[in-house]
Structure 1
Amino acid sequence: MKKLLGLVLGLSVGLSGCGKQEAPATDATQSTDNAEVQTVTMASTGSDADIWRYIAGLPETKEAGIKLEVKNFTDYVSMNTAVANKEIDVNAFQSYAYMVAFNDNNKDKIAPLSTTYLEPMGI
């Protein structure tokens, strides 16, 4: 479980899209128990946002020095636009092909940092 959580937390920081950002926002960095805590603002949608909020509240997230703030969006284009405009740090929702199409159709570009889990789809 800890390995899975570590993987998910690591990927949450690098999901998709660090547009023109040099690094995630660190203005909210604070000290807790002599450990540096980095705030990462993440966009997600629907039940995914609930999953990320759950992860944000886990003790392992705090132990990793991450304060994860999840903002719920209602559409995918606005999530990418928010990353490109530096309103949020990362988002977690899209395939690589979707990101390439977004970049082809928009002047602002975003870049992948890492991959995330794939959700099963039922028919």
Structure 2
Amino acid sequence: MHGSSRDKDKRQQKQASTSWLAILDIEHFKNINDQYGHICGDGVLLVLAQKMRHFFRSTDLIFRFGGEEFMIVFEPTDADSISNKMAEFIQLIRDTSFPFVENMTISAGLARISPYDFQIAVLESALLCKK
């Protein structure tokens, strides 16, 4: 007996789902530190980290990467879902009031993680598509 169409749908979903790497960068962060001081800059980092922790799934891994960059490794999902989720998050940050800072923006790059990719290739791919 062959598998049901439901089993086939699950297999197709599983094949379409993959892990993703996002790199988020606070734009003009040096200016924030220079204009308002490092304590304000630290407050911005803290608020952003809290927003990420509450917005993304608890199973998604969030790391600080450099002074004003963060990396997120997402659990498997499809390309449309992760693209929509990142767009929603970027809009959330645009709408967020940060201490002393008006209109803070972030840029984000997103890359698919394949089990056959070299880690540096995934990282470079995410960096190259930041917008």
The alignment's TM-score, normalised by the length of structure 2, stands at 0.29
* Larger-Rg structure: 2
TM-score (norm 1): 0.30
